[in-house]
Structure 1
Amino acid sequence: MSTNNGTPLTRHGSRVRHRTAQTPPPKADPRPVVVPQAVIRQMIVCVSDELAAVLHHTRSLDRHLGVSGTGCRRIWVSPTLRPWQRRQLIDWQRAKTGPQCCAGGPVRLLDLTGMGQAAHIGAVLRHQQWSHVVAGTQPATPWALFLQRHLTDPSDYPIDTATAAFHRQPRVQAMRMHNAAAHGSGHLDPTDLEIFQAGASAYANYHALWASCTDALLTEGGHRLHPASAFFADRITYLQQAHHHLQSLDRHQLVFAIDLQTP
């Protein structure tokens, strides 16, 4: 029995409903996504009172601090420093021009604020230059995403393929072409693309905080702060934590800058 339009009916007069075959859900990719880790080249160490005297006489950082590296003379000295206070600094050396620098010392004898302000000004000018260089190009995919795809599936997506795909983007090409013709401080790091694209204010504030916090921070209690990944969002989280910790330090706390040894 059927209706005029051909739909079959049951003996009770109701239409027969056919079940349509449902497409099974796609299988989940068994490969776990590998998150690219942040590159840690420099670290700020908040030295405990027990190690403060040791660092003035030895550079065995691996033994005393648990990190492999060397002291880095990058921290600005307070412009009001008195001659007799120099002995409290680590690796202080008189500079002919510009700010006096050292590898570390008590917070009260350092100019962390001046470092941040100078870095902010330099970053503002650099972002203006970047905006001019990439004008007319579309926003590009940051390097961390290409690296993540490579780390997740290195056999199907080799590092050479990831690098070539990143470099083929017009915005990255504009930065690389600028670097090929630029000299010295005019270099624009393509790996900072994600930070550049966040805007002038974000880029300047990032470098202002990085000047004193660097890539990682070791607290006086031995707790290590560092970005959870290479993505900009995790760098922001780290800088918030590290800057807050530095601001909370006692004025007599000794901090020490280290260039880490890469494996």
Structure 2
Amino acid sequence: MARRKPNLDELLDKLGYRFENPALLDEALTHVSAPKADGQSYQRLEFLGDRVLGLAIADLLYRTFPGAPEGELSRRLAELVRRESCAEIAIAWDVGPHLKLGAGEAHSGERRNQTILADVAEAIIGAVFLDRGYEAARNLVEGAFKPLLEAPRRPLRDPKSALQEWAQGRGLPPPTYAIVEQTGPDHAPKFRVVVRVKGTENEFGLGTSKRIAEQAAARSLLLREGVWTEEEHGTA
């Protein structure tokens, strides 16, 4: 069965935006592997869109949470501009069918690649910024990202930061971490890390990197001490 040719109007309807210069959208949807790309891919627009996105989200957070301290605003910003969030927006826009890819990339499922989707979402934001300025780009960002604002997909504080704040609140020295075991081949190592907090039992964590293992150990200690609950923070 022949694949239906994607209708660009459907994408524009989901964006809620019409380009004065459609070539900008075309560039935002073009991967470097695409035939006849001639160096014109979404990469430069993604660079620009990343900065516009950060400003627009910071602007939105500042207005939405007038009483929030800088630390909370920074954590919310990091949550909203991370790759997974941007890829989620690209999926909601259904940009995958509209991507211009090389034959190899198209056949290997790159239309669903989170990194590419996240980059294209930022490229589209950059394209809107060039097309009609910051206000248009801000409106696009707010319309797309506001549903994520009140329901972050992960804790606003990462486990290591939360554990350090908890220890400091109890007048304790900062937690310390150490690798107790490393297994597996060099290209796919596994780490076992211990976290120590004065006055508590040690806790351990496993991960495919030292950082992931440290976060797992901190999470386990927070859960054990009742600082976090399984319902809210039990999964990574």
TM-score by length of structure 1 reads 0.24
Which structure is higher in RCO with an 8 Å CA cutoff and minimum separation 6?
1
Query: Greater Rg, structure 1 or structure 2?
Result: 1
TM-score by length of structure 2 reads 0.26
